[in-house]
A and B are shown apart, each in its own frame.
Chain A
């Protein structure tokens, strides 16, 4: 470029770093496809299979709706209980993990615990709970409580760390005990955000509660797994439609609640 210095400045200089990155990603994609044993022929066969699958999924078969409704209700129960207990457990955890309220020797281990809760997929946690407390909805509830703690306790802690310190100082200066500091200085500042996080977690628990059944932890997932294994694809599509409808309704409801709390 130095030769051209003093000459015309180019408005849209070529972005060589960007090009190299794009080329590297393209190369990796090709390599990964070959490493994963992907071929055009397999893709073509797959498309044929896909067409057959869709053919067998249509029309969806709602004939066994009592089974479907039973599974959905259990998933809903799992989601509600896991959210309620998970949020309840996250409140103290969030307080303990907030670095502006707690000394480092409390906050840091709590943060590690929260990160640990978050590091496994809910389905893996569900497997362990199925072994520990047996098949059924309770294992699903326990697994989703762990998942909820991992997510909302972290968000709670971050929200608490962002609050203004002035009300804290004012309440402390009046000689209030710790509980009063939390109730009168911390909670009013973070309550509306907490409601938002709680609703988000309820949505996410509802999604996951339809899945923990795949490993025997209750809910519609067990029904779905059985239908897939028996190649009842028309019932599979009915279940999928029902799950999507339930999640959709859940999102609309949580939108209403969010507006009520704004």
Chain B
């Protein structure tokens, strides 16, 4: 054997193993670089008021002193009714959202609506619904229907359409063709294909989406009152405007308990149904 014969395979063996190709590495480094640059830029230019920061510890101690003792008696007088209203807003908003999201979801699912233009249009509705925060929707609906729980329920509904519609369209696109072809071959009308072909396949996903969104909506509906759209946020806003921090603490405590119960409930129902 000559040395030259050794050299070729050795060169191949000696080449250092790397997990990513040069292009992948370059893309990653670029992302890291931009991230660091963005953070540095934000730290250097963000508007911080030093005086406010200096007395933050005193303010925090003061906040907790004012919150204690929590005004538990306030629950029956000022919180219970708006809490029920909050739950109505969240539930009604979710139901309305489900109703409104089904047609949009059907329109967005590429295997059901075979038109690029219609799909894009549905996607546009879904994206705009999601991009506008529920508080902004609430501001808009308060301007339209006046302050109150109705504006809140509609805000929750319009905010949820994007979320529910997107997930529903994805679930529809993942369905099996078999049952649908069988129904089509038997000459079933469109409604029957939907109800007996698609619905049984997406039902678990649909219930899951509905429960998940309801859980989120319970949290979201708690703040709508800050812009006048009803619910427990109104009690929070009132208590804060009068600097009654012991009542604020009671409202926060109520929200915490309700949110925890909602989460436990949703987990329990999911485990039983799905």
Contacts and interface: CB of A to CB of B under 8 A. Distances in A.
A257 B31 CA distance: 7
Contacts of B53: 133-134, 138
A119 B143 contact: no
B227 A214 contact: yes
Contacts of B196: 12
Interface in A91-129: 115-116, 119-121, 123-124, 127-128
Nearest to B38: A80
A146 to B, nearest CB: 13
Given A25-B95, A207-B131, A137 B47 contact: yes
B42 A77 contact: yes
Q: Tell me the interface secondary structure of chain B in the complex.
A: helix
A127 B240 CA distance: 9
Given A119-B259, A128-B63, A77 B56 contact: no
Contacts, number: 154
Given A119-B219, A214-B226, A228-B143, A132 B132 contact: no
Given A32-B92, A211-B135, A121 B223 contact: yes
Contacts of A238: none
B47 A218 contact: yes
B42 A80 contact: yes
Given A53-B144, A123-B135, A135 B52 contact: yes
B153 interface: yes
A124 B252 contact: yes
Interface stretch (A159-167, A168-176, A179-187, A243-251): A243-251
A42 B28 CA distance: 55
A196 interface: no
B260 A119 contact: yes
B268 to A, nearest CB: 16
A132 B135 CA distance: 23
A127 B135 CA distance: 14
B60 interface: yes
For A80, A121, A128, A211, which residue has the most chain B Cβ atoms within 10 angstroms?
A: A121
B185 interface: no
B107 interface: no
A207 B236 CA distance: 23
Interface string B127-151: 1100111011001100111101110
A43 B151 CA distance: 11
Interface stretch (A1-9, A33-41, A61-69): A33-41
Nearest to A38: B150
Contact of B63 (A29, A32, A131, A247): A131
B256 to A, nearest CB: 5
A29 B223 contact: no
A148 interface: no
Interface string A227-256: 010000100000010011001100000000
A115 to B, nearest CB: 8
Contact of B252 (A25, A120, A214): A120
Given A37-B149, A42-B150, A134-B52, A124 B59 contact: no
Given A29-B95, A80-B42, A136-B52, A35 B88 contact: yes
A55 interface: no
B85 interface: yes
Interface string B88-125: 11011001100000000000000000000000000000
6 contacts: A28-B95, A32-B92, A121-B220, A260-B28, A261-B28, A261-B31
Given A81-B42, A121-B222, A132-B60, 6 more contacts: A36-B230, A42-B145, A53-B144, A115-B263, A124-B255, A247-B131
Interface of A: 12, 25, 28-29, 32-33, 35-38, 42-43, 46, 49-50, 53, 74, 76-78, 80-81, 84, 115-116, 119-121, 123-124, 127-128, 131-138, 141, 207-208, 210-211, 214-215, 218, 224, 228, 233, 240, 243-244, 247-248, 257, 260-261
